[in-house]
């Protein structure tokens, strides 16, 4: 969503990057472009004015005297003020332990509220909660059925009542049912409207008084622009919302709402929906999002994705198979599936420093190629996956027919797998160990150079090759703790946080 904003901000910051002195002139020129970038991204005018004023004051004030590199200081100021603009270190009040926690979601119709309920339920279930979804939208056709379908997908029960029940009755009965069933989290899907009206707001106020929710989340469509600010102000004035959930953050809109909400209502963005799948739901971290917008990448989020997708013991077993040369197509398939769990190779690359904001779409590997490879491997018998050299003649035709691919596609998969095994076999044990170490760190030297230059990108051929490989054998994404630092992009600060986090985990 922020690709255009990232490009414009990087262009503006080039005016001060590498400067030996910060002057009123070069700061003014850079901030003029920053202002235009924000306005084009549909950021609220008031938020833009406050941001520009704070950056100018800090960049030209006494604080700059302590900086050895004034240009770097200016970039650091922009990063910190962008983080503040997105919410800073604002946190929700802690919920008292024990008892039933009620979370109420509200928003306009079409904002993604019902889907957000299911995604939130899945996230909370994965964190050890026992959620119950409540279908309290009795006005929109098929709203109850939609929530039931989503609840089934995420394996969370849905409480509903026969047609004719009022929302207040549904909520009251749901609370009693949740306590009786030992549920500790109630997620209310309330009714939306095509526009804000007092009847809707009065109903939400009544539900709030009845249920006394510990959390009230306003769901805002990231693609609606400035109207989202007016929505947020109105809902907050009546309900005193706890925070905001941004939906459709993976869309192609300009993303100004994410930079405007905090300024408008003073409440933090808590979660963001970043895809269509139930698992595409992330806690919103202002510092990480600021890093993404400035092209610094987001290594911490990548590590969290890796920890959820990759089993440490399995990764070690995979490396051992490399050493004793027993790596099979089944193992290769497992690697591809791990990459898919992390959002695909494209999503991984976009989170790496120096790549996220500058990676041209024509250089990204075709994810369909990985799907085709999976289909080909799944069409093989167990013996064929263990001994691919027996796949000849009629076997190749059968596999191609079963996977919907061409015989040439089957040939290519087997050929690439064979080349990889021959390369590993030809190496001595120390050389293989060095190779795995290199794969584990994603070639630190190459990435470091790329991050420093900001423009240099992998070749299209190399990127597509990575896509065909699917998952690098023996690759443990947790090793991204050693990812390259990018001082020019502010990466050093991010990597310091990363090291602190890893020390705590170890």
Output the CA torsion sign for 480, 483, 488, 491.
positive
The pLDDT of 13-23, averaged and rounded, is 73
pLDDT per residue as tens digits for the range 335-373: 777 777 766 666 666 666 555 545 555 555 566 777 888
| CA separation for the pair 388, 393 (Å, rounded) | 12
Question: Is the CATH code 1.10.260.30 the one for domain 299-505?
Answer: yes
* Confidence class for position 437, pLDDT limits 50, 70, 90: low
> What's the distance, CA 44 to chain centroid?
24
pTM for the whole structure: 0.66
Query: What span, in angstroms and rounded, lies between the C-alpha atoms of 392 and 415?
Result: 12
Say yes or no to pLDDT of 260 above 90: no
Q: CA nearest 104: which of 192, 234, 180, 181?
A: 192
- What would the mean pLDDT of 437-464 be, rounded to a whole number? 46
- Structure confidence by residue, pLDDT tens digits, 372-414: 888 998 999 989 888 888 888 889 999 999 988 889 988 988 8
From 86, 104, 135, 87, select the one nearest 239 (Cα to Cα): 104
Q: What is the largest CA-CA distance in the chain?
A: 77
The confidence score (pLDDT) of residue 503 equals 46
Domain covering 101-293: architecture: 3-Layer(aba) Sandwich (3.40)
Exposure string for 152-179, b = 16+ CB within 10 A, e = fewer:
eebebbbbbbeeeeebeebbeebbeebe
Q: What is 414-427 written as a DSSP string?
A: HHHHHHHHHHHHTS
Q: Which CATH superfamily is domain 3-85 in?
A: SRP54, nucleotide-binding domain (1.20.120.140)
- Given a contact cutoff of 8 angstroms between Cβ atoms, the answer to whether 328 and 377 are in contact is no
Q: How many helices (H) and strands (E) does the chain have?
A: 23, 8
Q: Crossing angle for the helix pair 491-505 and 299-309, nearest 10 degrees?
A: 30
Confidence band for 106, pLDDT divided at 50, 70 and 90 = very high
Integer Rg of the chain from CA:
26
Dihedral sign (CA 170, 172, 173, 178): positive
Domain parsing of the chain, residue ranges = 3-85, 101-293, 299-505
Beta-sheet pairing, 101-106 with 131-135: unpaired
């Amino acid at each position: 969503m922020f690709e255009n904003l990232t490009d414009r901000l990087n262009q503006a910051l080039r005016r001060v990057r590498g400067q030996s002195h910060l002057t009123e002139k070069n700061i003014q020129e850079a901030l003029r472009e920053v202002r235009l970038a924000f306005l084009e991204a549909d950021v609220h005018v008031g938020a833009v004015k406050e941001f520009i004023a704070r950056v100018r004051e800090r960049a030209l004030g006494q604080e700059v005297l302590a900086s050895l590199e004034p240009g770097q200081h200016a970039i650091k100021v922009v990063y910190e003020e962008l983080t503040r603009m997105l919410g800073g270190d604002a946190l929700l009040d802690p919920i008292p332990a024990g008892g039933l926690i009620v979370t109420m979601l509200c928003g306009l119709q079409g904002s993604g509220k019902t889907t957000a309920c299911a995604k939130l339920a899945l996230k909370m279930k994965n964190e050890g909660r026992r959620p119950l979804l409540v279908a309290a939208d009795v006005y929109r056709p098929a709203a109850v059925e939609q929530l039931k379908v989503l609840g089934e997908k995420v394996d969370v029960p849905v409480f509903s009542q026969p047609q004719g029940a009022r929302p207040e009755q549904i909520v009251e009965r749901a609370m009693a049912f949740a306590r009786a069933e030992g549920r500790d989290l109630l997620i209310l899907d309330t009714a939306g409207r095509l526009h804000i009206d007092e009847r809707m707001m009065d109903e939400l106020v009544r539900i709030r008084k009845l249920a006394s929710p510990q959390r009230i989340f306003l769901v805002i469509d990231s693609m609606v622009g400035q109207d989202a600010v007016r929505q947020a102000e109105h809902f907050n004035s009546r309900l005193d919302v706890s925070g905001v959930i941004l939906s459709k953050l993976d869309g192609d809109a300009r993303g100004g709402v994410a930079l405007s909400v905090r300024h408008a209502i003073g409440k933090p963005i808590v979660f963001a929906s970043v895809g269509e799948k139930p698992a595409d739901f992330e806690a919103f971290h202002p510092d990480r999002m600021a890093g993404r917008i400035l092209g610094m990448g987001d290594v911490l989020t990548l590590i969290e994705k890796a920890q959820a997708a990759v089993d440490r013991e399995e990764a070690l077993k995979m490396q051992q198979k490399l050493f004793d040369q027993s790596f099979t197509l089944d193992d290769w398939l497992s690697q591809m599936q791990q990459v898919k769990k992390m959002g695909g190779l494209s999503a991984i690359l976009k989170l790496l420093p120096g790549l996220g904001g500058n990676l041209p779409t024509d250089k990204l590997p075709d994810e369909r190629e990985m799907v085709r490879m999976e289909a080909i491997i799944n069409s093989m018998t167990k013996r064929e996956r263990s001994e691919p050299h027996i796949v000849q003649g009629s076997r190749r035709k059968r596999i191609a027919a079963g996977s919907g691919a061409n015989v040439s596609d089957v040939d290519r998969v087997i050929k690439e797998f064979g080349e990889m095994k021959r390369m590993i076999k030809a190496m001595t044990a120390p050389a293989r160990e060095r190779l795995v170490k290199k794969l584990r760190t994603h070639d630190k030297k190459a990435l470091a150079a790329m991050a420093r230059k900001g423009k240099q990108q992998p070749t299209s051929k190399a990127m597509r090759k990575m896509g065909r490989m699917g998952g690098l054998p023996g690759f443990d994404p947790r090793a991204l703790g050693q990812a390259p630092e990018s001082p020019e992009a502010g990466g050093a600060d991010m990597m310091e946080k990363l090291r602190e986090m890893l020390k705590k985990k170890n």
